[in-house]
Structure 1
Amino acid sequence: MSHLLLIAIGPVQDFIASARRTRDLWFGSWLLSELAKAAAKSIYQAKGNLIFPYPTNPAQDLAPESAFNVPNKILAKVEGDIKKIADTAKQALEQRLNQIRDGAFDQVKGTFYDEQAADQIAALVEFNWVALPLGTDYAKTREQLEHLMAARKNTRNFSEVTWGTNAPKSSIDGERESVIDEKYYPPAGMANTSPEYAKIVARLYRDYGINVGERLSGVDMLKRHGQKGIDSRFPSTSHMAAIPMFNFLNKYDEANANISLIDPWNRYINFFNTNSTLIKYIDNERTPKSQKNFGNIDGSLLFAERFNDTLEGNDLSDAQNALEAFYTALGVKKRPIPYYAILHADGDAMGSVINNQEVIEKHQEISKALAKFADNKRDINPLNDSEERSVATIVAKHQGALVYSGGDDVLAFLPLHTALECADALAKRFQTLLSNFKDKTDRSPTLSVGIAIVHHLEPLSDALDLARAAEKKAKGFVGKNALAINLSKRGGADRIIVGSWIESKYSFYNRLKKLIEWHQTDQIPLGFAFELHDLSIRLKDLPANIFHAEAKRIIERKHTSNGIKVSSAIATELLAMINDLVPETLTQAHIMIQQFADEVIIAEFIADAQKLANGN
């Protein structure tokens, strides 16, 4: 008899999000995909018919370390002993986990409680499965199966924790105990300026890849030291923030034939390479995102404040002086903008569209389209039609770093100057691939995108919360199919704006592009946005027509930063944007006036990054 088998693998969000470094986040996402892939391969080898995910070339796609991403849910049509198939899939998952664990532990030079670490990792994965006879109504059986899985997840299995100790908790997730003996850390009261303290710090970094304040559990060790084939580095948040500056320096070098950045840059890097206490520091500050003229050096080396994390005393001041000497030698007054973007996207109406598929083959077609969208292979050949691009290719084209793409779920880091265009390209690609699939209301899936603009030194967990808040704002927009941007400036209030992807002359995305263009050419003053924002707070009960009149008055008397009045053409278009966004019949007009003011402010922020990246 044929059965539908549904497997859910966890934990997902908590496990992925518990990361202090981008590399930990990226590896945790990849690890879960690898484990799900091993389970999916086991089902395929048992002659199961995979429905979601749907690999077009199973032997290649389900191989370890392939570019094919497998989400944490697996749906298949299977024959025979259901329990045996599910148990074998779980064994395959555990075997793959042990392989990755052993590879990670081999990378650790120092001693640690490896048995306790292995126990913590073994207890990490949640593997739940349910099955039902298929019958003749696929859609109804699948719906029942989802309800059954929800009930299964609420029926928890509890077992005794075998690895609990009185050791300090992990500094990453705060749940599991550290597996590194405290004797390897500086004793209480030791001066952090002493030579012995410096030796201990260097040994912690050399043997465990950690800073003095970090405590790692076995799961943290797995993330920190696990290997993803030959590609086991990931750019930092600082590198993402530095990319516009890298672009500026490259263009500056091309435009100034009598000044080369190569020699000053090499002198700066040689400062680290010839300093015995700093060689290991620069070895860690490398990234697969190589930059022209700069090699694979991470962009954190362009920020003096980043040295505060791991350097102290003379090393700190010497490194900061060396960086300033590099900028001075070039005669460059520009400095990196210390902000980057996190993009978090999720499909809309996916559940209702899948529920509307009455046969397995139609569901497999959706899975195939999602796999094509989420493909981790990168192709940035400009001759390739953009309609053929995958998530990985789109993110790479925009100089970003993809953390995860599985099904309709995307998480990526991006430099500030490309984040908006990348979001637009992803939304269009998703809608194109899924346009042939409808729900009962004749709606096709769309992609809602949240972008968080965050300071590069913001704790990663907080930055991810901001990205999730933006994605939630987009998903909560009327009709979904939306973009939300959350700007979190240090020392200022967060600003979040949201609007639909639906095209019109003054649609949200088109409005932002136009505002950015005007900011780049210094044709609109930023001051009027702050006045509008202040007005919306102080006089929130005003009707829309009064806000229109006040906006006109503010715009007409404002001057740009170079002392020029706003042109009548631009003033007219700004007012048209406000009138379109805030019709006179709108109640609580102050909310949308505030939105427009924040759009102007955020657009200026993005425009500054684009000007820098363009060499201006």
Structure 2
Amino acid sequence: MSHLILIAIGPVQDFIASARRTRDLWFGSWLLSELSKAVAKSVYQAKGNLIFPYPTDPAQDLAPNSAFNVPNKILAKVEGDVKMIADAAKQALDTRVNEIRDGAFAKVTGVFDQTRAKAQIAALIEFSWVALHLASDDVYCATREQLEHLMAARKNTRNFSAVTWGTNAPKSSIDGERESVIDNRELKGQELTMYREYGINIGEHLSGVDILKRHGQKGVDSRFPSTSHIAATPVFNYLTLLDQSEKNPKAVTRLWKDYICALKLLESAKEYIQNEKTPIYHDIFEYYDGSLLFAERFNDALVGEDLKKAQKYLQDFLKPFLDTTIPIPYYAILHADGDAMGRFINTAHGMDEHQGISEKLTRFAGNVKSIVENHQGALVYSGGDDVLAFLPLTSSHVIQEGNNKRLATVFDCAADLATAFKQALVDPMVSLSVGIAIVHHLEPLSDALDLARKAEQQAKGIKGKNALAINLSKRGGADRIIAGSWAKPEGQFSLYERLTRLIELHQYDQIPLGFAFELHDLSIRLKDLPASILRAEAKRIIERKYTSNGKKVEDDIAEQLLKMIDDLLLDQTTKPHSIIQQFADEVIIAEFIAEAQKLANGN
């Protein structure tokens, strides 16, 4: 007898997002994909016809540690005893999580409560399944819809049991829910021991789930760049250019080696720099993480005179190359999600068409990693139409536009993803909305992720979606959020095109100095005035302002800026003062990105 079976693995968002380090975040995402993969493989081996996900080469794609990402839902057509198939899938999940758990625990040389840690991990994973008889392929769509309703009901009646691992130990410093399994009270003043035996910083408390995230191994590829490394990318690119210059070749390489050697002589820095590694080798910086370019990061592990010396060594390294000796400490989190996917999937007439959609989503997801890495970013997750990645503000990727070349920005990566999504699905109904949060590298990761989700929700709020939203969150200032569609009416700029042009104008100092802040002030003081007056006042501000090099704004530049404002004011659904405020924020955000580009170019 044929059945449709739907299996859900959880928890998803809470488990992934509860992380203090990017590596914890990435591993949480990878773990859920790996468990879903084990379940999908079990169903496939039971002669199940996988509908979602749709591996093109099941033997390779569903193998442990493969690059294939599997979302937390598995849909398949199966034959025979459906409960036996579901039980076997649950056993496959348990086997895989135990393998990963045991590998993580083996890497911790310090003593911790393994019994309680195992109980915490066992209580973490949720496995839910529902199945319905599939009389024929003709009723596939109706059966699948009913199956989704059954899964929602099943999740609302999940199994609850008493917690067996609760104690009065300190709570986890990562999720605040589970008790720590490491007795930090016996580690006071033993920073090196904490690093070496537990992989924790001062003040951290880890539960069994946290140890799983912190020490779980993804084959040989178990490292992930830090937020500081992503933020340091423009500096790395600039220093690479300097190192290749004819004037003083290999100067950066020599000074970097001296810097690392000096750090290794500091007792409390040895373990720290050994742990601050990335998965990608660089000819100059080897595997060292960009956190070694930020003096404030030494506060995590170094103490006393070692801390002062390390900060002095860093300053000595950067001083010959940077005027301020402080790299731009910001990076971007990109969160993307497909639009109208539910309606699109519901248009599938039967299982074959649904599998075709799954295959297209698989193709897109498989291309995401190369797109992100082409922009020097780090992919956390790409499953179906869902993407989460860390990106530098600007990368070494060069974009050719006519006879001109420019360095790509995080916005270009977003545009490449949106284009790839449309090309993969080839349907006008669907599109990709992207939210980008620009945050300080020391911002708590959970807060930074919330800002990225807020931006993605802002994009989803655009009429017709197919949108881009950016949230610039600078320390000591209010967040600036802008949003707009990827599409554009004939003869107008899209948000992406405006930002690209504004960044270029900032790079060549052709934007009036301070004019964005005057526009912002204008939008507040004259908020009740009609669009014509606000536009006239904006024109007056532009024409009387000077650029940072003391020159009057050129007439054609002034006309371009006014054209951008005019395009925005055509929107009759938004109040004129809000439009002026949005444009002012666009100019400010573009200037922020332009500064990173100037740094990467050595300007």
Same fold (TM over 0.5): yes
Number of equivalent positions: 584
Question: Could you tell me which residue of structure 1 aligns to residue 383 of structure 2?
Answer: 406
Q: Which ranges in structure 1 are unaligned for 5 or more consecutive residues?
A: 187-196, 376-389, 437-442
Judge conservation of contact 1:528–1:558 (CA < 8 Å) in 2.
Answer: yes
Post-superposition CA distance 1:254-307 (Å, at most 9, x none): 235236112211110001223333211110111113334111110011111111
* Other-structure match for 1:149: 151
2:167 — aligned with what? 165
Alignment of 1:124-203 (within 5 A): 124-135=124-135, 136-186=138-188, 197=189, 200-203=190-193
* 1:362 counterpart letter in structure 2: E
| 8 Å contact kept, 1:543–1:587 | no
Structure 2 Cα separation of the partners of residues 422 and 588 of structure 1: 31
- Confirm or deny that 1:115 pairs with 2:115: yes
- Percent of aligned positions that are identical: 69
CA distance in 2, matches of 1:514, 1:121: 50
**Secondary structure in 2 aligned to 1:255?**
coil
Contact 2:184 2:205 in 1 (8 A): no
Matched, 1:591 2:566: no
Post-superposition offset of 1:334: 5.7
Give the Cα–Cα distance (whole angstroms) in 1 for the partners of residues 321 and 596 of structure 2: 20
Shift of 1:333: 4.8
- Partner amino acid, structure 1, of 2:305: N
Is the aligned partner of 1:570 residue 2:557?
yes
SS of equivalent to 1:55: coil
Give 3-state SS (helix, strand or coil) of 2:124's partner.
coil
Q: Is the 8 A contact 1:544 1:585 kept in 2?
A: no
The answer to whether the 8 Å contact 2:9/2:128 transfers is yes
> 1:445 corresponds to which residue?
430
Q: Is this contact kept in 2: 1:526–1:601, CA < 8 A?
A: no
Q: Which residue, out of 257, 261, 270, partners 1:266?
A: 257
Letter in 2 for 1:344: H
Equivalent residue, structure 1, for 2:97:
97
Q: Give 2:212's match in structure 1, choosing from 207, 213, 222.
A: 222
Contact 1:248 1:613 in 2 (8 A): yes
Aligned counterparts of 1:576 and 1:331: Cα–Cα separation in 2: 37
Aligned partners of 2:241 and 2:93: how far apart in 1?
48
Alpha-carbon distance change, 427 to 111 in structure 1, aligned in 2, over 3 angstroms: same
Is 1:231 equivalent to 2:218 in the alignment?
Answer: no
Partner of residue 473, structure 1: 458
The Cα RMSD (Å) is 1.3
TM-score, normalised relative to structure 1: 0.93
Q: What is the CA-CA distance between 1:183 and the residue it aligns to? A: 4.0
Paired residue for 1:357?
Answer: 348
Q: Find the aligned partners of 1:583 and 1:26 in 2 and give their Cα distance.
A: 43
Letter in 2 for 1:405: S
One-letter amino acid of the structure 2 residue matched with residue 18 of structure 1? S
Distance in 1, Cα, partners of 2:317 & 2:413? 32
- In the aligned structure 2, how far is the partner of 1:257 from the partner of 1:406? 47
Distance 1:157 1:331 in 2: 58
C-alpha contact (below 8 Å) 1:24/1:224 kept by paired residues: yes
- Name the SS of the counterpart of 2:76 in structure 1: strand
Q: Deviations over 1:417-470 (max 9, x none)?
A: 13111100000000110114xxxxxx4211000000000010000000000000
Question: For 1:280 and 1:176, how far apart are their aligned partners in 2?
Answer: 28
Q: TM-score, normalised on structure 2?
A: 0.95
- Aligned residue in 1 for 2:398: none
Structure 2: runs of 5 or more not aligned: 395-408
Q: How many Å separate the matches in 2 of 1:163 and 1:233?
A: 30
Residue deviations 1:70-107, cap 9 Å, x none? Answer: 00000000111111111110110010000000000000
Which deviates more, 337-346 or 306-315? 306-315
Structure-2 residue corresponding to 1:394? 371
| Deviations 1:455-486, CA, capped at 9 Å, x for gaps | 00100000000000001111111101100000
Distance 1:104 1:586, change over 3 A: closer
Letter in 1 for 2:565: I
Tell which deviates more after alignment, 259-268 or 557-566.
Answer: 259-268
Equivalent AA in structure 2 for residue 300 of structure 1: S
Aligned equivalents of 2:322 and 2:198: distance in 1?
A: 40
Following the alignment from structure 1 to structure 2, what is the Cα–Cα distance between the partners of residues 398 and 165? 46
Q: SS state of the match for residue 129, structure 1? A: strand
Q: What does residue 290 of structure 2 align with?
A: 299
When residues 331 and 348 of structure 1 are mapped into structure 2, their CA distance, relative to the original with a 3 A threshold, is: closer
- Tell me by how many angstroms 1:614 deviates: 2.1
